[in-house]
Structure 1
């Protein structure tokens, strides 16, 4: 396993929110600092395109797009490198910090470490879901907040962002290429169920190739395969040092 430690890099657009205030709010949630080199107190004309490329269409409304277009500040908040055992808790705290920033003048937020954004209402709902949640409910909220899925590479559907929670990415072979639109909800449900299992079951650290996996006791059996992250270089923010776990159809 790679010795690289992932980290969150959060892009925060301000609208009347100064960089010093971004830093103060984020620091209140522990361990998050402002990258002074890349942050700036002026608008960046690349941001509308950057947010659209980060799955904005899924949860943005016109007010979110207007907020991106009218931003006046760009701040980059960094987490410390994520030790595996602390990654989920750090991500929970960063989700709470994101909600606090949005309630204090942030126009929009996206994560450079997974290429994912949400609209304001979606960010706040996810933070509310995570607040006070435990076990599977907390894992589900964190996956929804920080894991981009499904991404299709022509062969498999996969996730990007599980490294921010201290776990391997999840993948699934769709059966048809490209996957049929009517099959996508079921395939994504399998990805999410596997992701939550990896985050909540101690046995997940001991997965071996060929092990079986079922959504429910009477559901069809899938086979688990593991591998190393070969999509991204180790210096890429998307790189997952824990590799991936792939669902393949039982023959």
Structure 2
């Protein structure tokens, strides 16, 4: 296993929230600092394209797009490099930070470490869900918040962001034909079921390559294939030191 430690890099846009105030709000949750080298109190013309590439279309409304277009400040908040056992709680706290920033004048937020964003209302809804949630419900909120999925590489649907929760990326082998709109929801549900399993079931720590896996007791049997992260270099923010767990059809 790689010795790399994942970290959150959160891009925060605003039109009136000062960088010093961003840092003050984040520091109140413990372990988050402002990257002073890259944060700037001026607009960045690359932001509309960057947010669009981060799945903004899934939850942005007109006000969210306007906020990105009209921003005047770009702040980058960093978590500490996260040991595996601390990643889940760090991600929980950072979701609370995100909500606090949005309620204090920030206008748009995206995660550079998984390439995902949400509209303001979705961020706040996820933070509210996580604040009162336990176990599987909390895991589901954090996966939705921080994990970009599904991504298709021509053979496999996969995630990016499970490293921020201390777990392998989840994948499902589907072959060379891209999924149809009708097929996609069920495949994403499979990815999410596997993700929640990896985060909440003690047996997940003992997964072996080739193990059987069922979504429910009476569901078809899959095989779990495991392996190291081979999509990104170790110094890439997307790199997952815990590798991947891939669902393949049992034949």
TM-score > 0.5 by shorter chain: yes
Find the aligned partners of 2:48 and 2:27 in 1 and give their Cα distance.
Answer: 27
Find the aligned partners of 2:213 and 2:77 in 1 and give their Cα distance.
Answer: 38
Indicate the SS of the match to 2:80: coil
- Per the alignment, residue 179 of structure 2 pairs with 179
Q: Does 1:34 align with 2:34?
A: yes
Find the aligned partners of 2:230 and 2:21 in 1 and give their Cα distance.
Answer: 39
TM-superposition CA deviations, 1:151-202 (whole Å, max 9, x none): 0000100000000000000000125611222111111000000000000011
What are the ranges of 5 or more consecutive residues in structure 2 without an aligned counterpart? none
What are the ranges of 5 or more consecutive residues in structure 1 without an aligned counterpart? none
Find the aligned partners of 1:175 and 1:48 in 2 and give their Cα distance.
Answer: 33
TM-superposition CA deviations, 1:113-148 (whole Å, max 9, x none): 001100000000000010021110000000000000
Q: Does 1:113 align with 2:122?
A: no
Contact 2:15/2:70 (8 A) holds in 1: yes
- Per the alignment, residue 12 of structure 1 pairs with 12
Give the 5 Å matches for 1:121-200: 121-175=121-175, 177-200=177-200
TM-score normalised over the length of structure 2 = 0.99
**Segment of structure 1 superposing worse, 15-24 or 168-177:** 168-177
Find the aligned partners of 1:234 and 1:14 in 2 and give their Cα distance.
Answer: 31
Indicate the SS of the match to 2:182: helix
Root-mean-square deviation (Å): 0.7
Pick closer, same or farther for the CA change 1:221–1:176 going to 2, 3 Å: farther
- Per the alignment, residue 62 of structure 1 pairs with 62
Find the aligned partners of 1:102 and 1:63 in 2 and give their Cα distance.
Answer: 13
Q: How many equivalent residue pairs? A: 251
Contact 2:154/2:176 (8 A) holds in 1: no
Find the aligned partners of 2:199 and 2:171 in 1 and give their Cα distance.
Answer: 15
User: How far does residue 245 in structure 1 lie from its aligned partner after superposition?
Assistant: 0.2
TM-score normalised over the length of structure 1 = 0.99
Q: Which runs of 4+ in 1 moved over 2 A?
A: none
